[in-house]
Amino acid sequence: MANNSLEKRKLGTQGLEVSAIGLGCMGMSHGYTPLPDRNEMIKLIRTAYDKGETFFDTAEVYGPFTNEELVGEAVEPFRKEVVVATKFGLDVINGNPGEFNSRPEHIRIVVEQSLKRLRTDYIDLYYQHRVDPNVPIEDVAGTVGDLIREGKVKYWGLSEAWSETIRRAHAVTPVSALQSEYSIWFRGLEKHVLPTLEELGIGLVPFSPLGKGFLTGRIDNASQLDEKDFRRNLPRFQEDAIAVNKAIVDLIREIADTKGATPAQIALAWLLAKKPYISPIPGTTKLARFEENIGAADVELTQEEMNRINEASDKIEFVGGQYPEEVLKKMAR
């Protein structure tokens, strides 16, 4: 039986309620190396549930496929008590995980496969993983709307979409959540996207809320990362970038010390204080880190502390884009 002590938040106006801080499961079988033991990760997810966690995030491309299988097995004993989010929209089943595919017939095929891997007959939150420049968002929204009416999907969302796309999708099938990168060192959503979410009543689920580990203060140089770690290829994790970007970590650590908290907890508390409809999904493969992360819900930042962080972040000229240039060129918004 779960201890439901973790604060809940509403995403969107369709009725979706999730833990204030979710658990991103990608790193349990994808992206970071070396990969952890699968049985240990099942145990971690179940222990997280016992500690009140009810919001788990996965995707067909993680692995590929193995992460959904892992999450499906882990949550099976308490499936109806939790929210499982997964994603479609990449051409994974045809062996092209770097290509987009949100054609309606493709969505129909992959939703059945995800349901099977997740050992369930419904997906709580189904995201389009990336906007497909070749398929009108209205067609995507219409197809997912059909899946909602059929009971295969409860709520849906977009990922890394910008305002116009969100509006067009929402007009066809109401969107409950946007999952996009958002953190103290990546605030590109604030000017245009956040006001749109507020206006339409859509929740925000920040991925990489700890800057892919950078805001924890535990990464001082790129050589600390395993050679196969995907962060090695990201512009913000190159040596020259880390040297400049560390300035924000120094401030976060300073505030953390005065609050008796950790830098990770300050970074997450900042997100929680930003808006009541924000539920970040930090990922981890370690129970101690999970406990540290959910402890952020008990850290309250004053307005003065929020202002200090915001002003410092505004002043720093962060070095390095979100992804390599060739990846950004392919992304539609």
If you write DSSP's letter for every residue of 158-202 in order, what string do you get?
A: EES--HHHHHHHHHHS---EEEEE-BTTB-TTTTTHHHHHHHHT-
188 vs 17: CA distance, rounded Å: 26
Annotated catalytic residue within 62, 126, 155, 277:
62
Strand pairing class (55-57; 23-24): parallel
Q: Is 143 left (phi over 0), alpha (psi -120 to 50) or beta?
A: alpha
Dihedral over alpha carbons 166, 99, 108, 176 (to 10 degrees): -20
Nearest-5° Cα angle at 211, 304 to 25: 120
Taking CA atoms, 52 is separated from 10, 141, 315, in Å, by 16, 32, 38
Nearest-5° Cα angle at 218, 216 to 219: 110
**Does residue 62 have an active-site annotation?**
yes
275 vs 278: CA distance, rounded Å: 6
254 vs 79: CA distance, rounded Å: 41
Any idea which residues carry the catalytic annotation? 62
